[in-house]
């Protein structure tokens, strides 16, 4: 339905216009004018001088000033990228994709030619690519095979203030690569750290007192409104604020709303559209509602930038992605729920959980700033001034609050042996490192002695997969059970967004339509059956529609799976199928996820085997309502209480088989086997 150049979401299949160059002269003129009006433009010469003089420069500038789109182009215009590509990292895939698209347009070239991008399972680059936008996770992965990052002459670590785990680790790796390339027989590496706000001294100290360049921002006055009293339901109060603005302000100025996650945002978008329909058209501007979150399909992401028609008003409902990563022109009103969904590690349960939390004051100001980019604006805060003052000043860096297993596996694969001595900008606590090391040891990825961590051959292979180590482990167990084929499918579906479609009002119908795929073995096998049926269906799209399945996400899973098969081939892992006997598949999953198993208690409750945390089966699981003795789960979701999400029934004996050491000290009671379904 959209004419953007992203016709499909899948890697390798993004529909590039093959025709030569692209835009008409009038359009290019307009773009050049826009480029010259950005706050960064007057600073171009000064910036280039600093970049010439120094190996590492820190650039600070308001969101929207032109850092991400312009600086790489300036470097290219000077031909300073002759000896290697310019790589620009982004914490999120949406940003990498949409910015690459924009820069390709500004440079009047096709995406994938001079300007490209690379995000997990999706890439568009060629030998001609000089400006490459990547997620921080992808660059980290590249460092495994090339710790000197020798393809690149410039590395720009963008959105540094976000302090994702991958960016934090890249700081150390890029710093080391730069110093190791500082010798006559190698080409030097230039580094730029870019950020909207941050603890400048901390960064400058870390990067050997690198000079800091401040870009003069452009900020118009913003009128602030706080909630008069504490709001019980931030979603509801956010929505009513949107309608209050919509009704009271006649103009067509756009509204940016900050909420937390995909499900919440989709449901709010739906409700706003419903309510808007009932408002008389003559009286109010027409509302165009756009969700914006990291997992959004590419063509929808780009929709957000489409200009509104006369008489129309755009409402963008976004996660914290619009805080600094993406700038949308035309915003006059910001509605801030004051919440963000973040991943954090719960040391008492040993699991990473996604939780909705209060934002920090720094984030609140970033959100507010979005309203005053082009003219004076308004910011509505869904919290009181007291609540604001009680917020933390800055967000806690992710590395200090999340599970480090993946990162440590990658660091070891890059060749960093002593994790605690790694040059972290902020060191993770020894406890969280110990916990991750323990996790990696129990799945056989590493051998840990008191003073050394050694990657095992299996661990080295696990690091090849862009997956959490536990899923890589499940894949590695495939050949032994002759079911790598099926395990790859399940992992690919898990790596995609949800394949289920549950339209509000038709939930029952949807569930009934999918009943035929339900497996008594659990959700993983159910997903496998759906995937198989999808592959053998003739009219794919129609079939998905009839079965309330998401065509796009299933197609994406097909592509992810194809790439995982390639990695298996590279690693000499045979991809065999177990056909209809699916028990081996659950055994493989157990081999990877045995630390995520809960045991039924006499009182009917479940406790996790790893940490004795109480939990229940999620109502969306096919196992809901049953009482199997042992449930293997993919995630623990906390909404009030802890729910096991995406589950399979497993056998207690398998647990001893796959991890005898681990379960020697954790007693499996087996008291409830008799109750098992």
Shortest distance in whole angstroms from residue 622 CB to ligand ADP:
41
CA 430 to each of CA 52, 130, 349: distance values in angstroms, whole numbers, following the listed order: 39, 40, 17
Size of the site for ligand ADP (CB under 6 A): 16
Rank residues 27 and 512 by Cβ distance to ligand ADP and give the closer one. 27
Distance (Å, rounded) from C-alpha 319 to C-alpha 126? Answer: 32
Contact 309, 80 (CB under 8 A): no
Q: What are residue 606's DSSP bridge partners?
A: 600, 615
> Given the complex with ligand ADP, which of 63 and 648 has the nearer CB atom?
63
Scanning 60-68, 259-267, 330-338, 651-659 for contacts with ligand ADP by CB under 6 A, the matching segment is 60-68
Q: Which stretch binds ligand ADP (CB under 6 A): 20-28, 66-74, 245-253, 516-524?
A: 66-74
**301 binds Mg ion per the rule CB under 5 A:** no
CB of 331 vs ligand ADP, minimal distance in Å: 10
Q: Residue 61 binds what, of ligand ADP, Mg ion, none (CB under 5 to 8 Å, by partner type)?
A: ligand ADP
What does the alpha-carbon distance between residue 29 and residue 26 come to, in Å, rounded to a whole number? 5
Q: Which residues pair with 288 in a beta bridge?
A: 314
Q: Where are the alpha helices (DSSP H) in 443-539?
A: 457-462, 469-476, 478-481, 484-495, 507-514, 523-536
Least Å distance, CB 292 to ligand ADP, is 12
Burial, 26: exposed, middle or buried (Cβ in 10 Å; 0-12, 13-18, 19+)?
exposed
For position 38 contacting ligand ADP by CB under 6 A, the verdict is yes
How far is it, in rounded angstroms, from Cα 64 to Cα 639?
A: 35
Residue 291 vs 466, nearer CB to ligand ADP: 291
Q: Considering beta carbons, is residue 68 or 300 the nearer one to Mg ion?
A: 68
**Nearer Cβ to ligand ADP (291/459):** 291
Structure tokens given for 328: 């949308």
Which part of the chain contacts Mg ion (CB under 5 A), choosing from 67-75, 468-476, 498-506, 653-661? Answer: 67-75
- Check if the beta carbon of residue 632 is closer than 8 Å to that of residue 590: yes
For ligand ADP, give the closer residue by CB, 99 or 560: 99
CA distance 166 to 409: 13
Out of 9, 57, 66, 239, point to the residue binding ligand ADP (CB under 6 A).
66
Give the strand pairing for 597-600 and 630-639: antiparallel
If binding means CB under 5 A, how many residues of this protein chain bind Mg ion?
Answer: 2
Tokens of 532: 């198989």
Our finding on whether 574 is near ligand ADP (CB under 6 A) is no
Helix intervals (H) in 44-195: 44-53, 67-77, 93-106, 136-145, 165-180
Nearer to ligand ADP by C-beta: 61 or 285? 61
- Per-residue binding string, ligand ADP, 325-364, x by CB under 6 A, is --x-x-----------------------------------
Q: How far apart are CA 526 and CA 537, in angstroms?
A: 16
**Is residue 98 a contact residue for ligand ADP (CB under 6 A)?**
yes
Residue with tokens 């001609």: 128
Taking Cα atoms as reference points, which of 636, 641, 659, 677 lies closest to residue 668? Answer: 659
Determine, following the binding rule CB under 6 A, whether residue 63 of this chain makes contact with ligand ADP: yes
Whether the Cβ atoms of residue 71 and residue 99 lie closer than 8 Å to each other: no
Task: Enter the tokens of residue 604.
Answer: 């009917």
> What does 38 interact with, of ligand ADP, Mg ion, none (CB < 5 to 8 A by kind)?
ligand ADP
* 61 vs 297, beta carbon nearer ligand ADP: 61
| Contact criterion met (CB below 8 Å) for 362 and 395 | yes
590 binds, options Mg ion, ligand ADP, none, Cβ within 5 to 8 A by partner type: none
Binding segment (CB under 6 A) for ligand ADP, from list 59-67, 200-208, 360-368, 421-429: 59-67
Indicate which single residue of 5, 61, 84, 522 sits in contact with ligand ADP (rule: CB under 6 A).
61
| Whether the Cβ atoms of residue 101 and residue 129 lie closer than 8 Å to each other | no
Shortest Å, Cβ 403 to ligand ADP:
30
Best CA proximity match to 226, nearest among 423, 380, 77: 380
Interaction of residue 68 with ligand ADP, rule CB under 6 A = yes
Specify the residue, 166 or 439, whose C-beta has the smaller distance to Mg ion: 166
The site partner of 652 among Mg ion, ligand ADP, none (C-beta below 5 to 8 Å per kind) is: none
- DSSP3 helix / strand / coil % (the chain, rounded to 5): 40, 20, 40
In DSSP terms, 222 is beta-bridged to 377
- 367 interacts with ligand ADP by CB under 6 A: no
Q: How far is the CB of 99 from Mg ion (least distance, A)?
A: 7
Beta partners for residue 314, in sequence order: 288
Least Å distance, CB 67 to ligand ADP, is 3
Minimum distance of ligand ADP from residue 374's CB (angstroms)? 8
- How far is the C-alpha of 364 from the C-alpha of 394, rounded, in Å? 10
Measured from each CB, the residue nearest to Mg ion is: 68
Which range of residues in 46-54, 96-104, 225-233, 539-547 is near ligand ADP by CB under 6 A?
Answer: 96-104
Ramachandran region, residue 668 (left: φ > 0; alpha: ψ -120 to 50; beta: rest): beta
Q: Which is nearer to Mg ion, 68 or 238 (CB)?
A: 68
Nearest alpha carbon to residue 244 among 216, 269, 225: 225
Nearer to Mg ion, 138 or 436 (CB): 138
Residues 302-331, one symbol each (x = binds ligand ADP by CB under 6 A, - = not), give ---x---------------------x-x--
Of the residues 5, 43, 50, 67, which one makes contact with ligand ADP according to CB under 6 A: 67
Q: How many CA atoms lie within 13 A of 505 on its CB side?
A: 4
The residue (of 99 and 414) whose beta carbon lies closer to ligand ADP is 99
Name the segment binding Mg ion (CB under 5 A); options: 28-36, 63-71, 442-450, 457-465.
63-71
Query: Of these, 43, 50, 56, 68, which contacts Mg ion (CB under 5 A)?
Result: 68
In whole angstroms, give the CA distance from residue 117 to residue 133: 5
* Distance between CA atoms of residues 302 and 296, nearest Å: 10
How is 334-377 classified by DSSP, letter by letter? EEE-SEEEEEEEETTTTEEEEEEEE--HHHHHHHHHGGGSSS-E
Decide: 110 and 104 in contact? Cβ < 8 Å.
Answer: yes
What is the closest distance, in whole angstroms, from the C-beta atom of residue 68 to Mg ion in the complex? 3
CA distances from 263 to 28, 260, 403, 449 (A): 38, 9, 24, 44
Q: Does 65 bind ligand ADP (CB under 6 A)?
A: yes
Q: Which does 363 bind (CB under 5 to 8 A by kind): Mg ion, ligand ADP, none?
A: none
The interface region with ligand ADP, picked from 61-69, 128-136, 536-544, 648-656 by CB under 6 A, is: 61-69
Q: Among residues 330 and 478, whose Cβ is nearest to Mg ion? A: 330
Residues lying near Mg ion in the complex (CB under 5 A): 67-68
Residues that bind ligand ADP (CB under 6 A): 38, 61, 63-70, 98-99, 102, 305, 327, 329
């Amino acid at each position: 339905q959209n004419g953007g150049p992203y016709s499909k979401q899948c890697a390798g299949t993004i529909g590039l216009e093959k025709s030569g160059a692209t835009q008409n002269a009038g359009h290019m003129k307009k773009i050049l004018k826009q480029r010259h009006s950005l706050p960064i433009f007057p600073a171009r010469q000064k910036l280039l001088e600093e970049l010439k003089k120094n190996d590492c420069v820190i650039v600070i500038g308001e969101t929207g000033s032109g850092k991400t789109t312009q600086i790489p182009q300036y470097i290219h215009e000077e031909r300073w990228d002759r000896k290697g590509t310019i790589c620009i990292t982004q914490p999120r895939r949406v940003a990498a994709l949409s910015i690459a698209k924009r820069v390709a347009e500004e440079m009047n070239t096709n995406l994938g030619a001079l300007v490209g991008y690379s995000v997990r399972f999706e890439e568009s680059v060629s030998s001609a690519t000089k400006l490459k936008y990547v997620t921080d996770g992808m660059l980290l992965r590249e460092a495994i095979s090339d710790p000197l990052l020798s393809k690149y002459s410039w590395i720009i670590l963008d959105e540094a203030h976000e302090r994702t785990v991958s960016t934090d680790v890249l700081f150390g790796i890029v710093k080391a690569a730069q110093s190791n390339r500082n010798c006559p027989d190698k080409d030097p590496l230039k580094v730029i750290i870019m950020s909207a706000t941050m603890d400048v001294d901390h960064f400058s100290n870390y990067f050997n007192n690198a000079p800091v360049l401040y870009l003069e921002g452009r900020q118009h006055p913003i009128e602030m409104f706080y909630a008069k009293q504490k709001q019980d339901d931030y979603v509801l109060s956010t929505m009513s604020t949107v309608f209050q603005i919509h009704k009271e302000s006649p103009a067509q100025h756009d509204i940016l709303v900050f909420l937390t996650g995909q499900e919440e945002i989709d449901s709010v978008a739906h409700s706003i559209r419903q309510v808007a329909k009932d408002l008389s058209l003559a009286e109010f501007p027409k509302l165009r509602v756009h969700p914006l979150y990291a997992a959004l399909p590419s063509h929808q992401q780009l929709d957000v930038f489409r200009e509104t028609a006369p008489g129309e008003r755009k409402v963008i409902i976004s996660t914290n992605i619009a805080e600094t990563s993406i700038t949308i022109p035309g915003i006059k009103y910001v509605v801030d729920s004051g919440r963000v969904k973040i991943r954090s590690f719960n040391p008492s349960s040993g699991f990473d959980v996604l939780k909705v939390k209060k934002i920090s004051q720094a984030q609140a100001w970033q959100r507010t700033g979005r309203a005053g980019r082009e003219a004076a604006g308004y910011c509505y805060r869904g919290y009181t001034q007291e609540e604001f003052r009680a917020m933390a000043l800055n967000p806690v860096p992710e590395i200090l609050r999340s599970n480090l297993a993946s990162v440590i596996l990658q660091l070891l694969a890059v060749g960093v042996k002593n994790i605690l001595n790694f040059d972290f900008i902020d060191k993770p606590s020894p406890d969280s490192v110990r916990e991750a090391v323990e996790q990696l040891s129990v799945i056989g990825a590493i051998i840990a002695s008191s003073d050394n961590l050694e990657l095992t051959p299996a661990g080295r292979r696990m690091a090849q997969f862009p997956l959490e180590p536990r899923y890589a482990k499940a894949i590695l167990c495939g050949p032994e059970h002759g079911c790598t084929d099926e395990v790859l499918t399940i992992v690919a579906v898990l790596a995609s967004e949800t394949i289920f479609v549950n339209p509000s009002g038709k939930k029952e119908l949807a569930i009934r339509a999918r009943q035929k795929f339900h497996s008594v073995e659990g959700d993983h096998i159910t997903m496998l059956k759906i995937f198989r049926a999808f592959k053998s269906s003739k009219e794919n799209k129609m079939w998905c529609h009839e079965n309330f399945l998401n065509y796009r996400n299933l197609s994406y899973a097909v592509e992810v799976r194809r790439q995982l098969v390639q990695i298996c081939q590279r690693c000499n892992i045979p991809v065999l199928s177990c056909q209809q006997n699916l028990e081996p598949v659950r055994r493989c999953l157990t081999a990877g996820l045995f630390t995520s198993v809960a045991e039924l208690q006499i009182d009917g409750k479940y406790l996790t085997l790893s940490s004795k945390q109480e939990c229940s089966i999620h109502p969306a699981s096919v196992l809901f309502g049953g009482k199997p003795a042992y449930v293997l789960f993919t995630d623990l979701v906390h909404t009030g209480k802890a729910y096991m999400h995406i589950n399979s029934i497993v056998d207690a004996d398998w647990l001893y088989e796959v991890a005898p050491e681990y379960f020697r000290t954790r007693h499996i009671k087996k008291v409830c086997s008799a109750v098992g379904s």
